[in-house]
Amino acid sequence: AKAHVQTKMLRQKEDENLPAEERTPEGIRTWLVDAISRGGEALFGQPDIDKPAHAKDQLQSRFVLKLMAYHLSATLGSVFTSEEGDHALPVGALSLAACAVERAFQWYRDDQPNGLPMKAFSRNYAGKCTGKWRDTAVQELIDRSHRFERLLSRARALVTAVAPPPLTSAAEGGPAMNNLYVRERSSSPPTALFYDHEQ
């Protein structure tokens, strides 16, 4: 998320089509403040900070979608589907992406200008934030699954990797293949063996 925000800031600084004041450090800071405001471009596909209730496509900003595309490309082919064709929605990934985008914008807005390093993305520093997104905006998308599917479709459009062939489960007529798996031969239960340092 941090890299995507930084890229946007650099592009804004170098974009000669923008007014000069929008390319200054103050102009970029104004953009950061507006983007992370309610209804802002950090999290909305169709932002509206003047009337946040009119903003549309929450969690479908370019920043969130790029993170979701990264997640989807990293997990291509790793999700089993049920016999009915159902698949689990990447609820955790979207919650993490929303939190990561929020933290990145807040860091560039507040801490980075003061020379403070960004804290690690960990349970201590991002757990509550991730849970907050899971319980609010992500839950709303779960409740309206067609919107979640639309978000995933938009994120998939940004994926550049080619999906591997899908794995089949035993329920689908065949075992899932795992080239590294070796079935251990059965044997009697071992007697207690001690490692050198335990004797």
DSSP letters spanning 181-198: --PPPP-PPPPP---GGG
CA distances to 7, 23, 50, 56, 91 from 41, in Å: 15, 17, 12, 10, 21
Q: Give me 27's structure tokens.
A: 């102009």
Q: Which residues pair with 44 in a beta bridge?
A: 58
Q: How far apart are CA 18 and CA 12, in angstroms?
A: 8
pLDDT given at position 12: 93
Structural domain total, the chain: 1
Tell me, yes or no, whether 83 lies in a domain: yes
Residue 160 lies in a domain: yes
Is 80 a domain residue?
yes
Given a contact cutoff of 8 angstroms between Cβ atoms, the answer to whether 69 and 151 are in contact is no
**Domain range enclosing 101:** 2-164
Q: Please state, in angstroms and rounded to a whole number, the distance separating the CA atoms of residues 38 and 10.
A: 23
Q: Is 93 helix (H, G, I), strand (E, B) or coil?
A: helix
Residue 191 lies in a domain: no
Amino acid 86: pLDDT: 63
Domain membership flag for residue 47: yes
For residue 73, the model assigns a pLDDT of 87
* CA distance to 4, 76, 161, 177, per residue, from 101 (Å): 9, 22, 23, 36
Residue 178 counted as domain residue: no
- Return the ∠ at Cα 18 (arms to 17 and 24), rounded to 5°: 130
Q: Is residue 49 domain-resident?
A: yes
* Residue written as token pair 């064709």: 85
**Mean pLDDT, 10 residues at a time, the chain of 199 residues:** 92 94 94 96 96 95 95 75 68 95 94 86 88 95 93 91 55 55 58 50
pTM over 0.85: no
Give residue 112's pLDDT. 87
Q: How many CA atoms lie within 13 A of 142 on its CB side?
A: 15
Q: Do residues 63 and 103 touch, judged by C-beta distance below 8 A?
A: no
Q: Does residue 72 lie within any of the structural domains?
A: yes
Q: Distance (Å, rounded) from C-alpha 97 to C-alpha 91?
A: 10
Q: What is the pLDDT of residue 199?
A: 47
Instruction: Scan for tokens 């496509």, then name that residue.
Output: 57
